[in-house]
Chains A and B, each alone.
Chain A
Amino acid sequence: MTHIAVADQEPELHHPRTFIGKYIWSQDHKVIAIQYGCTAIFVGLIALVLSVVMRLQLGFPDQFDFINPNMYLQFVTMHGMIMVVYMLTALLLGGFGNYLIPLMVGTRDMIFPYLNMLSFWFYFLSVLVLLASFFVPGGPTGAGWTLYPPQSILEGTPGSGLGIVLMLVSLAIFIIAFTMGGLNYVTTILQARTRGMTLMRMPLTIWGIFTATILGLFAFPALLVSAIMMLFDGLLGTSFFMPAIVSLGEATDFEGGSPILFQHLFWFFGHPEVYIVALPAFGMVSDVLSIHARKNIFGYRMMVWAIVIIGGLSFVVWAHHMYVSGMNPYFGFFFATTTLIIAVPTAIKVYNWVLTLWQGNIHLTVPMLFAIGFIFTFTHGGLSGLFLGNVVIDMPLSDTFFVVAHFHMVMGVSPILVLYSAIYHWFPLVTGKQLNTRLGMIHFWGTFLGTYAIFLPMHYIGFLGVPRRYYALGDTSFIPDSAHALNANMTIAVIIVALFQLVFIFNLFWTMKREPKSKINPWGAASLEWHTPEVPPGHGNWGKELPTVHRWAYDYSVPGVVQDYIPQHVPDSDVVYESGFDPSTSKREPT
């Protein structure tokens, strides 16, 4: 028995009538996706502004009197936390995951629509709590996004009072929201796929989201646990992570705890989190490359296995963030080895993306440009990761700007290029309109070149030994003046990149107001989401009957077939071959 029978029953769906039911307390996965997406983009913009402010201080130290050391640390912290958790995770899984899963696997909605709605509202609440910390006495926490105790809950660190409490509470709420959403995504993918949609016929986007969600479900508990235990330490005076210490000259009552324990818990979450962001991006970029090159993804099976293997390995590499943390140094051997092993499946993914383009018929559309840009930045960021993963090289480079440059290339710029690619790619599906291409091109070039101008030189500042999280460098014997000039240039690049993001925001509004309706399935995609009876898909997605899937999502340029793609739901009998072509000679036949 399969669950399709249930999904086919139209009456199961709850049809909202009022505006509030339709757009606020909505249980429709598409509306929830847009709610998630808009909230995530909104907080992302806040985090972007924070990064501009802190870059102003780094580029032009002490020129602006609205920045002080407290605020600098608070902005660094909030920028990091918002971007990683509240923007990227929420937008990729809550936004794209919600929108695409039911459409791509061919179901009417998530399996638990009510839970899905709750998930969004819990996420919204966590954002409100997070933003509230800007307005409490002492301001938001400035302990760095890693929130390491003991300092995060002690005087002497900005926001060590209410700020850190709100941060931890907000994270706990976010994790509850994520768990509700995550259970939905996993169950929907496992149990609600339509007829014929075997696991290996799913688009890579779904594989990426699916694996990332499982990573999230298993990794976020570590963050939840560490947040709860730190709240106990901060509010109830327990000593889970707090050893006997003196704080700003005053003795404390703490006794015997271990700060390193927190770091293990944090990075047991923190490393998989990198892949929670990366894997959906890997999946989406694979689909964009394939569709816009009119070619099947190269090595589909290898791509799926790589995603699964990367996901699995991501749980045994966490301590590479802790090589200089004072943990047992012998761990270094193990974690350096696992970390460098993870480079193999990742490298295969890069090769396969390029090989997908090889012998393709490449349309340089805006989504495709972003995807190609991603291959470039991701290669760069991935390779610099080989330095940091190798424990001895991490010694001089950790806690310098090299680390900052590395993770911004690999999990800042790269996923964001994919997000833009995905937004330009799926916008016609979501709204029925295609984002203005000219503005899109401007946006792409500004973002792609601008971010490289920020982060390429940053690696070299790091080589020099310039430490991160420094409000000002002061006088040192080893940093030449040219490095300060370089810092100023990077800051200018940041401002330029930030301005180019306004082009994107403008494009969203311009397109919604001015652009005409685009044609249906403008890119000629074969995957299921583009083949709903209505575009944008209506409530329930599929009209009367769910589609039946007859092939994988990558039948592009199949030899002998007239059309250059075959949609997933078209049966073999309906495929039109060129006259005189014998289908039995094609590579599609089993041998």
Chain B
Amino acid sequence: MKGFSALTEKPWLALPDGQLALDPGSGTPPAQIALRFLLMVISIAFVLIFVTFLTRSQYPDFQALAGEPWLPFNQSPRLWATTAVLVAASLAMHWARHSIKAGRPDGVMLGISVGGFLALVFIMAQWTTWNYLTNLGYGINENSANSYFYLFTGLHALHLFGGVVALVRVFIRIGKGYSLEQVAIAVKACTTYWHYLLGLWLLLFFLLTRSPETYAIIAAACGLG
């Protein structure tokens, strides 16, 4: 491992033949490194909530939102629809990224516009889901399963919204006439972020619409039962 051997170097030794130790940083652009760290930070936050969620799902008062025919997410066409929107947003962003490589500025504009717009549509759709749940009587404080649903989807939507703000900045820059090269890193970063949030959403979707039995299995597998 390169990282490990770098830590065993004896820095006080002179290098043979006055050779220069050139190793500052790797070739990865800093923005990408920063984004990787950011995604790790976000992942840790969500993993921690997952852990509390799985622990909490094994308490007697927890009433899952799926598993019986009358529960709101036993069949979830609504959530499948929002998922489709987010997948489309991710594809659009991927198109933008592809267009950067291909050198097509209009493709980039189109990709990020559609990607950003669909992200906003997704957030709106989540909003209607919350209303739908509340109207059915599944308010945020009725049961902890509901609380977690609002918490998870709310935080996810907030992160997506943050991404949209970043995307608007890119959009404005392109409008101001920045070259593709100047925005390439930002577009790539946004695309990675979109894919990440899509993956996170799929995980949330899976986790929030399981039956109590499945929770028991997952919790036991994680040693939280």
B12 x A193 contact (CB < 8 A)? no
CB-contacts of A163-213 with B (<8 A): 179, 182-184, 186-188, 190-201
Contacts A4-B25, A548-B20 given; 10 further ones with Cβ under 8 A? A179-B38, A191-B28, A199-B23, A200-B10, A236-B141, A253-B141, A256-B59, A305-B7, A554-B12, A573-B18
Of the candidate stretches A143-151, A220-228, A512-520, the one touching chain B is A220-228
Tally A-B pairs: CB < 8 A: 172
Q: Which of A16-24, A40-48, A296-304, A415-423 contacts B (4 or more CB under 8 A)?
A: A296-304
Instruction: Please provide the chain A residues from 247 to 305 with a CB less than 8 Å away from any CB of chain B in the complex.
Output: 253, 255-258, 261, 265, 268, 296, 300-301, 304-305
Contact call A257/B144, Cβ cutoff below 8 A: yes
Q: Are A552 and B52 in contact (CB under 8 A)?
A: no
A350 to B21 alpha-carbon distance, docked (Å): 30
* Whole-angstrom CA separation of A188 from B29 in the bound complex: 11
Contact of A191 among B26, B55, B61 (CB under 8 A): B26
Instruction: Report B9-27 CB contacts with A as 1/0, cut-off 8 Å.
Output: 1111110101011111111
**In the complex the two chains form, is A196's CB within 8 Å of B144's CB?**
no
Q: With A195-B22, A222-B48, A258-B56 as given contacts, are A2 and B27 in contact (CB-CB < 8 Å)?
A: yes
Nearest-CB residue, chain A, relative to B16: A590
Report whether B151 and A3 are in contact in the complex, using a CB–CB cutoff of 8 Å. Answer: no
Q: Please, how many angstroms separate the alpha-carbon atoms of A188 and B138 in the complex?
A: 47
A376 on the interface (CB 8 Å rule)? no
Please, which residues of chain B bring their CB within 8 A of the CB of A237? 140-141
Q: Are B12 and A187 in contact (CB under 8 A)?
A: no
> Counting CB contacts under 8 A, is B1 at the interface?
no
Contacts of A589 in B (CB 8 A): 13-14
Closest A residue to B47 by CB, please name it: A221
Chain A nearest CB from B183 CB (Å) reads: 16
Taking A191-B26, A221-B41 as contacts, is the C-beta distance between A258 and B59 under 8 angstroms? yes
Which chain A residue lies CB-closest to B23? A198
Q: Once the chains bind, are A256 and B13 in contact (CB under 8 Å)?
A: no
A238 x B13 contact (CB < 8 A)? no
Partner of B11, one of A186, A232, A300: A300
A362 vs B158: C-alpha distance in the bound complex, in angstroms? Answer: 55
Known A-B contacts A238-B140, A256-B144, A590-B13; A183 and B48 likewise in contact (beta carbons under 8 Å): no
A156 to B133, CA, bound (A): 34
Q: Is B49 an interface residue (CB 8 A)?
A: yes
Q: Residues of A with Cβ closer than 8 Å to B?
A: 1-4, 105, 111-112, 179, 182-184, 186-188, 190-201, 217-218, 220-222, 224-225, 228-229, 232, 236-240, 253, 255-258, 261, 265, 268, 296, 300-301, 304-305, 308, 548-552, 554-555, 571-573, 587-590
- B144 CB contacts on chain A under 8 angstroms: 238-240, 256-257
Q: B196 within 8 Å of A by Cβ? A: no
The answer to whether B52 touches A261, judged by C-beta atoms less than 8 angstroms apart, is: yes
Find out whether the CB atom of A238 lies under 8 angstroms from the CB atom of B14. Answer: no
Interface extent on B, as a size class?
A: 35 or more
- Partner of B55 from the list A3, A261, A571 (CB cut-off 8 Å) is A261
Q: Does B147 contact A (CB under 8 A)?
A: yes
CB A215 to nearest CB in B, in angstroms, measures 12
Interface pairs A-B: 8 shortest CB-CB: A256-B61, A221-B45, A193-B24, A552-B11, A237-B141, A238-B147, A191-B25, A200-B9
List 21 contacting pairs A-B, 8 Å CB cutoff, sorted by A. A1-B27, A2-B24, A4-B25, A111-B30, A186-B34, A193-B24, A198-B9, A218-B44, A221-B44, A222-B44, A225-B45, A225-B52, A232-B140, A232-B151, A239-B141, A256-B59, A261-B55, A261-B56, A268-B48, A296-B12, A572-B18
Hey, which chain A residues are within 8 Å of B147, CB to CB? Answer: 232, 236, 238-240
Contact with A along B75-106 (1 / 0, CB 8 A): 00000000000000000000000000000000
Q: B146 → chain A, closest Cβ, in Å?
A: 8
Q: Which of A265, A268, A304 contacts B7 (CB 8 A)?
A: A304
CB-defined contacts of A228 to chain B, threshold 8 Å:
151, 155
Q: Which residues of A contact B45 (CB under 8 A)?
A: 221-222, 224-225
Q: Are B24 and A238 in contact (CB-based, < 8 A)?
A: no
Chain A CB within 8 A of B168 CB: no
- B23: chain A residues within 8 A (beta carbon): 198-199
Partner of B33, one of A187, A239, A268, A305: A187
User: Which among A2, A187, A199 has the greatest number of chain B C-beta atoms within 10 A?
Assistant: A187
CA distance A476 to B59 in the complex (A): 40
Cβ contacts under 8 Å, A200 to chain B: 6-7, 9-11
Verify B6–A198 contact, CB threshold 8 A: yes
> Quick check: is B135 within 8 A (CB to CB) of the other chain?
no
Q: CA separation between A112 and B33, bound complex, in Å? A: 12
In-complex Cβ contact of A300 among B12, B26, B34, B38 (8 A): B12
A179 and B9 contact, CB distance less than 8 A: no
Q: Which residues of A contact B40 (CB under 8 A)?
A: 217-218
List of B residues within 8 angstroms of A224 by Cβ: 45
Q: Is B177 interfacial (CB-CB < 8 Å)?
A: no
CA distance A236 to B149 in the complex (A): 14
Shortest distance from the beta carbon of B96 to any chain A beta carbon, whole Å = 22
Per the 8 Å Cβ criterion, residues 134-190 of B in contact with A are 140-141, 144, 147, 151, 155
Contact assessment for A198 and B21 in the assembled complex, using a CB-CB cutoff below 8 Å:
yes
Contact A196 to B24, CB < 8 A, known contacts A187-B34, A240-B52 = yes
Question: Separation in Å of the B42 CB from the closest CB of chain A?
Answer: 8
Contact A4:B24 (CB < 8 A) given known A239-B147, A589-B14: yes
CB neighbours (8 Å) of B38 from chain A are: 179, 183
Which residues of B lie under 8 Å from residue A184 when comparing CB positions?
A: 34
Min CB distance B7 to A, Å, is 7
Within the assembled complex, what's the spacing in Å between the Cα atoms of A265 and B52?
9
The smallest beta-carbon distance between B39 and chain A, in angstroms, is 11
Report the separation of the CA atoms of residues A590 and B17 in the bound assembly, to the nearest whole angstrom.
11
**Complex-state Cα separation, A121 to B210, whole angstroms:** 42
B12, A217: Cβ atoms under 8 Å? no
Chain B, residue nearest A197 (CB): B24
A166 smallest CB distance to B (angstroms): 20
Cβ distance B192 to chain A, nearest Cβ, rounded Å: 15
Q: Which residues of B contact A221 (CB under 8 A)?
A: 41-42, 44-45, 48
Does B37 count as interface, using CB distance less than 8 angstroms? yes
Q: In the complex, what residues of B have CB within 8 A of residue A550's CB? A: 20
**Chain A nearest CB, measured from B153 CB (Å):** 13
Expressed in whole angstroms, the minimum distance between the Cβ of A220 and any Cβ of chain B is 8
A198-B11 in contact given A3-B25, A217-B40, A232-B147 (Cβ < 8 Å): yes
- A555, B12: Cβ atoms under 8 Å? yes
- In the assembled complex, how far is the CB of residue A288 from the closest CB belonging to chain B, in whole angstroms? 19
Inter-subunit contact B37/A217 (CB<8 Å)? yes
Cα distance A573–B17 in the bound complex, in angstroms: 11
In the docked arrangement, what's the CA distance between A197 and B11, Å?
10
Nearest chain A residue, comparing its CB with the CB of B60: A256
